[in-house]
Structure 1
Amino acid sequence: MKKKTTVPLIVFLVGICLLSLFTYNTNVQIQKDRRTIAKLNAVTYGQRIENDIENGIEITDTLKQVLINGNGQIINFSKIAENLMSYSIQSVQLAPNGVVTDIYPEDGNEAGKIDLLKDSKRGEISNYAKDHDITIIQGPIKLKQGGSGLVVRNPIYLEDENGQEYFWGFTIVVLRVPEIFEDSTNALSKFKYYYRLSREASVLDKKYVEVDANCDKMIRPATYNLTVGKEKWKLEIMPRAGWSNSKTLYFIFFGGLSLVLLLTEIIRVLFLLDERRVELKELAHKDGLTKLYNRYGFDELAEKMIKKDPEAYYVAALLDVDDFKLINDMYGHAYGDKALISLAENMQNFFPSSALLGRNGGDEFCILLSNRTDEEAKEALIQFTKTPKTFTYKDQIHLFYISLGYAQYPMDASNRSQLMRCADAALYEVKLHGKNGCMAYQEGFQSGIRKQLGFVLNDVSENLPGAFMIYRADKEDDEIFYANKEFLDMSGYENLDELFKNTNKSFRNLIREDQQKAVEENIWNQIESGSKNDYIHYQLRKQDGTYIPVLDQGRIVESVRFGKVFYVLFMDWQAMQSHYSEKFNAKDV
């Protein structure tokens, strides 16, 4: 996997891990802080609830004191009870010998006058309280007046005239739930806590029963254990929002995730920019068509190679495509490009990976071989030069050839630029000797000799004194390869593409229809009779559909690449007649 992918991925994964760890630790700390605060609140409000219930129980102790002071009698019970009442007290009761006889307020509480020691629901616990002289609490119970209550029974023992203790009965108070401790529970609710207050069912039953709660379920609550009389109670609380702060955690996680993604994207972009920088640097040194080094890149690397090891041997070669202009003119520039690409691929496949390969421009290529003399490189360079190169045109393979010149460092040159000039001189010496050859530089070669080779096809044909055309000499499948500008002007065409399109690249389509058969028979009769030059007079069809009388002089030539081809010069018949008529008339005068 590419570095530009793996590094951002690693950064993202590490970032997610660190973010998760930070979020987890934050959550742990939040829970710890919330639990600490919850425990403090549980202690604070647990103690308040404990005091509230104890204050309710003290009513029974107050009645006990009244009984002691009254020698076992309470005069005006209703008045005393009324003074003890509050909104959290449901009723105050007296039960001499365990039988409830007095209840305040009496209205609605008449059914409470029972024998506690013999009652099936209350007898066991009441007898236990009597026998052990301990205050007991029962409940919560449903009150007929509505709501719930806790029943507190305080066994009273008095002394007779002989100083002997005897069981007098019970002083009783019924506390309303949750009114007895609602200040504390309301405060917990206000502070957004869930709470549950529980107590042991009795001194005989250690199972906890719920006294009051504002929720159905508690999750790992903070607990405060309190003692009321001889009983164990507990207050459990937890934040309504839970022990974690979801909003804070979401903010931390998604905020951190955004930063991780941003950092990942920045790193990815930096790698892309670095990759783009490398690509741009490579593009500045590489040829866009062949992907070999361009002239700038080749020269720079060649200079570095020679400077790095100036004592080593190097062989530099320059090569170009023979008659490349003809390939472009005959097949189009797109196929000329295909030929260049094919040549570049041949170079890459033939020469070792250590060879420096480049394209100087156009159809000229360059090679630098390290640690070789010209003698050591000669055989390979000759083999590469003589091997035909190919490209495909209309599903047919076409051959083309190259010329190559080479020189050696330091024998022929003392630096890179001089070395390349020597190779250039050798290349054009090859051109002077017929092309498709390979030659080493020799003293006396001049790179300026290339000026003598300026007569390429286009230069020659464009400057011929007449219209010129090349086409395949085939009775069944003639094909126009090339026409010069003068022919295009004479026939009214803008360019070769327009000529090819209008004639379907067929020479016979330039001849007036009624003359085509006779003209072609005449041409081939002359050829078959052994004539090297044939002269034909006919009507040439112009681009606009009109005709012009022409005289063409053709020569059939055997081409290595294309077989038999016609080289043809065209003359305007009327212009020629007019010219020679005026000339002869002038002589007669």
Structure 2
Amino acid sequence: MNINTVSKTSRITIVSAVFLLSMLVLSLVINGIWRQQTTQEQTLAKQNIQNRVSEIKYAINECCGITETMNLILQENAEGTMEDFNNVAKHIMKDRKYISCLQLAPDGTVTSIYPIEGYEGDLINLFEEKHYGSLAAYSKNTGTMTLQGPFEIQHKEIGMELREPVYVRDSNGIKQFWGFAIAIIKVPDVFQISTDNLKTFGYDYTLYKTNPFDEEMHPITSSKGILEDPVVADFDAAGVSWRLAIAPEEGWVQPSYLLPYALFGLFLVLLLTLLTYMVLLLAEDRALFSNISLRDQLTGLYNVRCFEEDMATLVRTNKLHGIFYIDVNKFKHINDTYGHRAGDDVLKEVALRMKGACEFNVYRLGGDEFAILVNQDIKESAYETIAAKMTKAFNRSIVSGSNNMMVSISIGYAFYPDDGTDPQQLREIADQRMYNMKEAYHAEME
């Protein structure tokens, strides 16, 4: 599309297209910034989550150390007993507020609990219990520590049960199953250091674990519901699998971070759209002024300047095939007899009729002189047909006010290559033929 000939509709279309395309580019840029920032934030989160996993594993290992301590105490006693269990348990639980209670289960039957309040229902035979029987048997037979939960404990708190099988040597030095050392651990209290650090860094979290004989991950503590696109770390501790998932409380990228980029980008989009509109508007104005400078103001035909430019272009591109010169007969007589207004009306009607009789561009060279440039390779008969149609177009009179005037024209043409190969030669021949026809007309009229 020529920028100098942009219509109003095209201008609106182009400006709209520039705006939409710019907005698309802006959205892609903002999306790229969002992705880049998300990647950076997730990289930091991956570093953070590894530190939190270490803290969680340390807390779990510390819990395991509690049952191991109870195990060692029982093994040190010849008969696998623990005198003054309550004091021992109280001492172990000191400064460990995440421990809800400690239990001993000789031969699998829970007989000692500290503190007992709220756990009276736990005085059971673990092997006979519906939910714990198979797990207790598995722990006894394999010597494996088990961690079960989460489940509700007293005061509607959530807890996990860490159960370690205890083996003591009999009088013959042979290890025999003694029972279980059990610790009921509060959740999320046991992980308070990790959860506090996550809150400090602005992360929501969910901690999952499996249960023995169950590979499904169960949430045991969470700061909110479903996390959006979280960073995840899997690890093993206390004989089960764990998963920690974290995500920023306000999302990976806050809207306030993208806002300056979006506003600046929108400013550039609007600026580019405005500049495009101004360029097209200026181009349209320039085209309008250019068109005015190439048009004859009276008839609306192309003027002599346009004639010379178009002819030079046709010559340069080897598309000049012919030329017509036309002159209005006795135009001076019309002006002198009927006045210049009538003369102007005649010129306008002459221009209109010539345009209707010819498919090529018609030019007004000045006064009553006109020209036609032929940019197609047509036969000589076509030139004669054009001349005949134009002559016939003036069989009707021209009316100007109360004046009814018969007007005729003289036409001369020349075409390539029969009349010449040089553009100037064609012009001279066409002009001479037009002059000859005009002379013949005057002679006839006399």
- For normalisation by structure 2, the TM-score amounts to 0.74
What pairs up with 1:309-458 in 2 under 5 angstroms? 317-319=326-328, 320=331, 323=334, 340-350=347-357, 353=360, 357-358=363-364, 360=366, 364-368=367-371, 383=391, 387-391=395-399, 399-402=404-407, 438-439=441-442
Question: Among 234, 238, 241, which residue is 1:225 paired with?
Answer: 234
The alpha-carbon distance between structure 1 residues 112 and 369, as it changes in their structure 2 partners (threshold 3 A), is closer
2: CA distance, partners of 1:278 / 1:183? 75
The alpha-carbon distance between structure 1 residues 109 and 359, as it changes in their structure 2 partners (threshold 3 A), is same
Question: Among 113, 120, 126, which residue is 1:116 paired with?
Answer: 126
Q: 2:142: which partner in 1? A: 132
The alpha-carbon distance between structure 1 residues 144 and 369, as it changes in their structure 2 partners (threshold 3 A), is closer
Give a deviation string over 1:91-148, Cα, whole Å, max 9, x none: 1222222222222223343333322232233222222212221111222121223311
Structure 2 counterpart SS, 1:279: helix
Matched, 1:49 2:56: yes
Q: Is the 8 A contact 1:224 1:234 kept in 2?
A: yes
What pairs up with 1:74-223 in 2 under 5 angstroms? 74-85=82-93, 86-201=96-211, 203-223=212-232
The alpha-carbon distance between structure 1 residues 317 and 147, as it changes in their structure 2 partners (threshold 3 A), is same
Report which stretch shifted further, 71-80 or 298-307: 298-307
Give a deviation string over 1:367-421, Cα, whole Å, max 9, x none: 236799xxx99x769936963343587xxx9732347678999xxxxx99xx9xx
Q: Is the 8 A contact 2:145 2:165 kept in 1?
A: yes
Aligned-pair distance for 1:344?
1.6
The alpha-carbon distance between structure 1 residues 389 and 12, as it changes in their structure 2 partners (threshold 3 A), is farther
2: CA distance, partners of 1:104 / 1:64? 16
Structure 2 counterpart SS, 1:118: coil
Give the number of the structure with larger relative contact order, counting CA–CA contacts within 8 Å between residues 6 or more apart: 2
Amino acid at match of 2:352: E
1: CA distance, partners of 2:216 / 2:390? 107
Q: Is the 8 A contact 1:195 1:213 kept in 2?
A: yes
Aligned-pair distance for 1:282?
2.0
The alpha-carbon distance between structure 1 residues 301 and 229, as it changes in their structure 2 partners (threshold 3 A), is closer
Q: 1:73: which partner in 2? A: 81
What pairs up with 1:12-51 in 2 under 5 angstroms? 15=22, 18-51=25-58
Q: Is the 8 A contact 1:153 1:173 kept in 2?
A: yes
What pairs up with 1:441-520 in 2 under 5 angstroms? none
Structure 2 counterpart SS, 1:209: strand
Q: 2:417: which partner in 1? A: none
Aligned-pair distance for 1:166?
1.7
What pairs up with 1:271-282 in 2 under 5 angstroms? 271-282=280-291
Q: How many residues align?
A: 411
Q: 2:248: which partner in 1? A: 239
Amino acid at match of 1:157: Y
Aligned-pair distance for 1:349?
2.7
The alpha-carbon distance between structure 1 residues 290 and 78, as it changes in their structure 2 partners (threshold 3 A), is same
Q: Is the 8 A contact 1:31 1:243 kept in 2?
A: yes
The alpha-carbon distance between structure 1 residues 325 and 47, as it changes in their structure 2 partners (threshold 3 A), is farther
Q: Is the 8 A contact 2:360 2:373 kept in 1?
A: no
1: CA distance, partners of 2:405 / 2:223? 97
Amino acid at match of 1:387: N
Amino acid at match of 2:285: R
The alpha-carbon distance between structure 1 residues 297 and 290, as it changes in their structure 2 partners (threshold 3 A), is same
Q: 1:542: which partner in 2? A: none
Q: Is the 8 A contact 2:202 2:248 kept in 1?
A: yes
The alpha-carbon distance between structure 1 residues 25 and 439, as it changes in their structure 2 partners (threshold 3 A), is farther
2: CA distance, partners of 1:300 / 1:207? 85
The alpha-carbon distance between structure 1 residues 289 and 87, as it changes in their structure 2 partners (threshold 3 A), is farther
Amino acid at match of 2:406: Y
2: CA distance, partners of 1:350 / 1:138? 102
| Identity across the alignment (%) | 26
Q: Is the 8 A contact 1:381 1:438 kept in 2?
A: no
Aligned-pair distance for 1:318?
4.5
1: CA distance, partners of 2:315 / 2:171? 134
Give a deviation string over 1:495-522, Cα, whole Å, max 9, x none: xxxxxxxxxxxxxxxxxxxxxxxxxxxx
Q: 1:283: which partner in 2? A: 292
Q: Which runs of 5+ in 1 are unaligned?
A: 410-414, 431-436, 441-589
CA root-mean-square deviation = 4.6
Aligned-pair distance for 1:89?
1.3
Aligned-pair distance for 1:277?
1.4
Q: Is the 8 A contact 2:147 2:239 kept in 1?
A: no
Amino acid at match of 1:138: Q
2: CA distance, partners of 1:241 / 1:300? 68
Aligned-pair distance for 1:57?
2.1
Give a deviation string over 1:217-253, Cα, whole Å, max 9, x none: 2344322112122111111223344456555566656
Amino acid at match of 1:78: N
Q: Is the 8 A contact 1:156 1:167 kept in 2?
A: yes
Aligned-pair distance for 1:284?
1.8
Structure with higher Rg: it is 1
Give a deviation string over 1:255-312, Cα, whole Å, max 9, x none: 5455345434433432332232122122123123421234665677789999999xx9
Give a deviation string over 1:175-226, Cα, whole Å, max 9, x none: 111010022123223333232111112x222232221112222344322112
The alpha-carbon distance between structure 1 residues 324 and 306, as it changes in their structure 2 partners (threshold 3 A), is farther
The alpha-carbon distance between structure 1 residues 116 and 338, as it changes in their structure 2 partners (threshold 3 A), is farther
The alpha-carbon distance between structure 1 residues 68 and 282, as it changes in their structure 2 partners (threshold 3 A), is same
2: CA distance, partners of 1:169 / 1:303? 112
Q: Is the 8 A contact 1:347 1:357 kept in 2?
A: no
Q: 1:554: which partner in 2? A: none
1: CA distance, partners of 2:322 / 2:127? 125
Structure 1 counterpart SS, 2:108: coil
The alpha-carbon distance between structure 1 residues 403 and 170, as it changes in their structure 2 partners (threshold 3 A), is same
Q: Which runs of 5+ in 2 are unaligned?
A: 375-379, 415-423
